[in-house]
Amino acid sequence: MSKEFVERWYSRIPEMEKDLPIILLDDKVYTPREIYEEVVKGTELGDKLQMKLEMMYRKATSAHTFGYEDIREIRQVAYERVKRIIENLPKDFSIASFSGRIVSGKKIFDAIGKKAVEYEMERVIKLLRGD
Total-model pTM: 0.86
Whether 82 and 109 have beta carbons less than 8 Å apart is answered as: yes
pLDDT per residue as tens digits for the range 85-121: 888 888 888 888 777 778 887 777 777 778 899 999 9
Q: Is residue 131 over pLDDT 70? A: yes
Domain layout of the chain by residue ranges: 3-129
**In Å, how far are 73, 81, 104, 117 from 110, measured between CA atoms?**
21, 15, 10, 11
